[in-house]
């Protein structure tokens, strides 16, 4: 199952205006430490930033330098020295995103879901490695 199936699935999710609303609803409720981290967040902006961030993660996995450059920047802001996004929080993020994808993408087969998990874990692994270097 190639990355292009994940990209196609992401396209089917992003056409729904409520996709990122639902993601943040699930993610913020997934653990009590998360909501306070977004206490001063402008969610209209944040949803657009995350939409772009996931695209960049997928581009990084396709080997596109623009994706890698964007992830390097996100790794720094989320690093132990800055927002301190831990492995546990990244795991909750992946679980919440996959749950949202399954709600919105009617064509998300178990194979597509498995490929999403593989892709998101690879991207998060990269973010954490770069974040440690930035620290």
Where on the chain is the footprint of ligand HEM (CB under 6 A)? 34, 37-38, 40-41, 46, 49-50, 53-54, 57, 74, 77-78, 83, 85, 89-90, 93, 123-124, 127
DSSP SS3 for 82: coil
Q: Tell me the Cα Rg of the chain.
A: 14
Nearer to ligand HEM, 27 or 108 (CB): 27
Nearer to ligand HEM, 106 or 132 (CB): 132
Q: Taking the CA of residue 98 as centre, how many other CA atoms within 13 Å lie in the half-sphere pointing to its CB?
A: 19
Nearer to ligand HEM, 37 or 114 (CB): 37
DSSP single-letter state for residue 17: T
CB of 84 to ligand HEM, least distance (A): 9
Element (H, E) at 96: helix 87-104
CB of 63 to ligand HEM, least distance (A): 18
CB of 85 to ligand HEM, least distance (A): 4
DSSP SS3 for 64: coil
CB of 28 to ligand HEM, least distance (A): 9
Written as six digits, the tokens of 11 are 């396209």
Nearer to ligand HEM, 106 or 117 (CB): 117
The position carrying tokens 């089917």 is: 12
CB of 109 to ligand HEM, least distance (A): 23
Helix axes 43-61, 19-29, angle to 10 degrees: 100
Nearer to ligand HEM, 40 or 65 (CB): 40
DSSP SS3 for 22: helix
């Amino acid at each position: 199952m190639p990355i292009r199936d994940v990209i196609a699935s992401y396209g089917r999710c992003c056409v729904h205006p409520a996709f990122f609303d639902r993601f943040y609803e699930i993610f913020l409720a997934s653990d009590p430490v998360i909501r306070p981290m977004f206490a001063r967040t402008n969610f209209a902006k944040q949803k657009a930033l995350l939409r772009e961030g996931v695209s960049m993660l997928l581009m990084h996995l396709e080997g596109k330098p623009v994706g890698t450059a964007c992830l390097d920047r996100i790794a720094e802001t989320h690093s132990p020295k800055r927002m301190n996004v831990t492995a546990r929080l990244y795991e909750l993020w992946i679980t919440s995103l996959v749950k949202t994808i399954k709600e919105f993408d009617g064509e998300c087969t178990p194979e597509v879901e498995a490929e999403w998990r593989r892709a998101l874990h690879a991207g998060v692994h990269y973010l954490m490695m770069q974040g440690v270097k930035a620290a």
